[in-house]
A = this chain, B = another copy of it.
Amino acid sequence: MDEFELIRRYFAHVGADRADVRLGVGDDAALLEVPAGMQLVASVDTIVAGRHFPPGSDARSVGHRALAVNLSDLAAMGATPAWAMLALTLPDADPDWLERFAGGLADLAKAHGVALVGGDTTAGALTVTVQIMGFVPRGTALRRSGACAGDLLAVTGTLGDSGAGLALATGSLRTADSAVAHELIERFEYPTPRVEFGLAARGIATAAMDLSDGLAGDLPKLASASGLHAHVDVERLPLSDALQAIASTEQARAWALSAGDDYELLLALPRQHHDSLRASARQLNLRLSVIGELRRGNGVSWTLQGSELAHPVEGYDHFRRASTQITD
């Protein structure tokens, strides 16, 4: 058994068993059944060592994140995930690394009922691409377009934790509080895609996207796609206790605005539906925070205690800036 036979072993049975997979790993292609009345929802994302995660990251986290960033895209569409394909380029076939990587991927896949239905493994610099497919009932997908003037802007969870977690993981930030450090690093290494909440928001939110590049980078895309102006009250950004324990409010807000990797959802929400969607969030043990609103016009504005901010963030995190996505 050569090293690549070994790899094949690790990925032959990853994730959920699904009856709609007529042919999975092992032929020239997978054969899959999309249920009647459903549209196929498909996305692809790559994470590269040294760009999207520190070299030497725990392989378990790399496997988790490679799938999580894709699940987050389906969450933003209000889609139910079903199948994933993996294109893994790696310098060598280290069994311990592969076992941890496959384990991280498999646990998250099972948690969301996703089957790994195919892939390709090649030798080269560590680069992990996952393509994901899922469904929505025809015509019900959440898009970035569709928001209306007067809609509230809301976000799930808390923002900025992942940015602080990355700074802690790479040693550029330190704290004596190991519980706080652990919590924030976990937020970077094991982001939670908001799949269930995306389903709950379908038919209620008028637009949605996931926050992968930070609110300051992502919000203009939603505003532009909806043909509206987006306004944010920066003091309303939800910040976790852990983040506030290790950073000044100013630093915490900078992470929340620009650090990226939060994988929370940003939504446009008719005011009359705010209470019901917040109740749905509460059932999922998830915060839902109103941070601003959509107005006629274009562009984005930010205020802090009523004073306008010309540039909400001074410095962007260049660790992630070198990545862009055709579909984010």
- Residues of A bordering B, CB below 8 Å: 4-5, 7-8, 11-12, 22-23, 25-34, 36, 39-52, 73-74, 76-77, 79, 83, 85-87, 89, 117-125, 127, 129, 131-133, 136, 138, 141, 143-145, 208-210, 225, 322-328
Contacts and interface: CB of A to CB of B under 8 A. Distances in A.
Nearest to A73: B28
Count of identical protomers in the assembly: 2
Given A28-B144, A28-B209, A326 B8 contact: yes
A206 to B, nearest CB: 14
A125 B25 CA distance: 27
B133 A327 contact: no
B123 A76 contact: no
13 contacts: A27-B145, A27-B328, A29-B73, A29-B132, A45-B87, A46-B122, A48-B89, A48-B123, A85-B131, A118-B327, A121-B323, A122-B322, A124-B127
A44 B119 contact: yes
Given A123-B48, A131-B85, A141 B23 contact: yes
Contacts of A322: 122-123
> Which of A22, A27, A34, A144 has the most C-beta atoms of chain B within 10 angstroms of its own C-beta?
A27
A44 B141 CA distance: 25
Given A42-B32, A85-B131, A131-B44, A51 B124 contact: yes
A145 B22 CA distance: 13
A92 B22 CA distance: 40
Contacts of A46: 87, 89, 120, 122, 129
B327 A42 contact: no
A144 B324 contact: no
Nearest to A11: B326
Contacts of A136: 31
